[in-house]
Amino acid sequence: MTDRTAELTIGDQQLELPIIEPTIGNDGLGISSLRNITGDVTFDPGFANTAGTRSSITYINGAEGILRHRGYSIEDLALNAEFLEVAYLLLFGELPNQQQLAEWNSGIAGHALVKEEMKRFFDAFPNNAHPMAIMASATNAISTFYEEYHDPSDEEAVIESAIRLIAKMPTIAAWSYKKSMGMPYNYPRSELDYVENFLHMMFHLPTEETKVDPVIARALNVLFILHADHEQNCSTAMVRGVGSSRANLFTSVAAGISALWGPLHGGANQQVIEMLKTIVEDPEEDAQSMIARAKDPDDPFKLMGFGHRVYKNHDPRAIVLRTYADDVLATVGVSDPLLEVAKELEQAALQDDYFIERKLFPNVDFYSGIIFRALGFPSRMFTVLFSIGRVPGWIAQWKEMTEDPETRIMRPRQIYVGKVERDFVRLADR
């Protein structure tokens, strides 16, 4: 809090609102006392202009396309770091030294197994269950094995839970996939690192010797880093919201997975591929017809992978992915007509007045699916991959929230526009 204030006049009432200063970025107008003094509330659908917290984890400048975690640029992290290093950075605020990283990695590796009873849980789902539904349910379900770690104010228990969650996420994800394919589950192996283990559990078959391709492992590492955190996005806001009621970390993260599944959020990566496939496979559709549909006010269709609440110039993650898509496809020797169509669609949209006026650019989901596809993942797994990447961010944000003395249970107000008061009408008289 600083001494700077802003003045608000409502009728003949004058209010001095404190200005909350950032280290960088937007000032905040403190309106907490507004309702008590004036009886009014603020109205901000989707909280598009509302800061619900102070945070020192991730900084985004949407006008300039900047994304930094704890001060480090996303480009720098994606190029130089390992995913678990970034997870440590998000959680603890600093990059780990060699010893810290070794301990962190081995702590996580030691918790990669899920309880054997969980197999029955996976088995209970129908074979065609969407892996995101299984992920969200399984994340909640594993909380039942660790009830003694549920207290958000027990620092040690929180770190233990964080390690367990990060460690078990690839196992849960791979088992969700194996379940959906009717294939046997693979166990994690201690000689493999985090990403290699996930690839092993995803693709190993008992019928043949399989080896994890280091190129694919590195590419997935980069993709996980690019998804690791994104300040107060929809799923993170849900994780914080659930956690604000002092619900445990597992359950809060399960809520984040559910929110991420939606096609306007992380689910967009699967939808982008469906859209590009339609263009390739349907002779009636092309980039222009998709753009025309997206612009039609009577059609709910949106150009998937385009637009962002915060980025109004470019999404730096999409820029990294665009070039990376070419590299990965060339390295793994895949030529995908969808990449050409994606580039064509991007160019057509970027030259279209509708998209220019609304500052709509490709977001992280536009190119990620093409890379996931080239790495051998089916499209129903794309949002699952996003969620593995996002888990450290959700945990860091949840931890920051529980440690923040300003935290209150999330409970927005409303503007009531329903009936004022009515007498009950008995069933026989209706």
Give the footprint of ligand ACO on this chain (CB under 6 A).
Answer: 46, 264-266, 268, 294, 302-309, 358, 360, 363-365
The answer to whether 281 touches 324, Cβ cutoff 8 Å, is no
Residues marked active site are found at 308, 365
CA gap 254, 138 in Å, rounded: 8
Closest distance between ligand ACO and the C-beta of residue 14, in Å? 33
Residue 307 CB, nearest approach to ligand ACO (Å): 2
CB of 265 to ligand ACO, least distance (A): 4
φ, ψ for residue 248 (rounded to 5)?
-70, 165
- Going by DSSP bridges, is the β-strand pair 13-20/72-73 parallel, antiparallel, or unpaired? unpaired
Measured from each CB, the residue nearest to ligand ACO is: 307
Identify the H or E element spanning 160.
helix 155-181
Distance of CA 156 to CAs 48, 237, 242, 250, 355, Å?
Answer: 35, 24, 20, 15, 48
- Reference 381, options 222, 226, 198, 248; nearest CA is 198
For residue 269, the minimal CB distance to ligand ACO (Å) is 8
Write the CB contacts of 46 (distance below 8 Å, at least 6 apart in sequence). Answer: 309
- Residue 181 or 356: which CB sits closer to ligand ACO? 356
Region of 365 (left: φ > 0; alpha: ψ -120 to 50; beta: rest) is alpha
d(CA 104, CA 85): 9
Helices (H) and strands (E) in the chain, counts: 18, 6
Return the number of the residue (172 or 294) whose C-beta is nearest ligand ACO: 294
Closest approach of Cβ 315 to ligand ACO, in Å?
7
Q: Which DSSP symbol is given to 192?
A: S
Nearer to ligand ACO, 152 or 362 (CB): 362
Nearer to ligand ACO, 188 or 307 (CB): 307
Using CA atoms, how far apart are residues 406 and 54, in angstroms rounded to an integer?
A: 9
Distance from the Cα of residue 411 to its chain's centroid: 22
Least separation, in Å, of the C-beta of 292 and ligand ACO? 11
Give the nearer residue to ligand ACO in terms of CB position, either 223 or 294.
294
Instruction: Report the residue number, 131 or 305, with the smaller CB distance to ligand ACO.
Output: 305
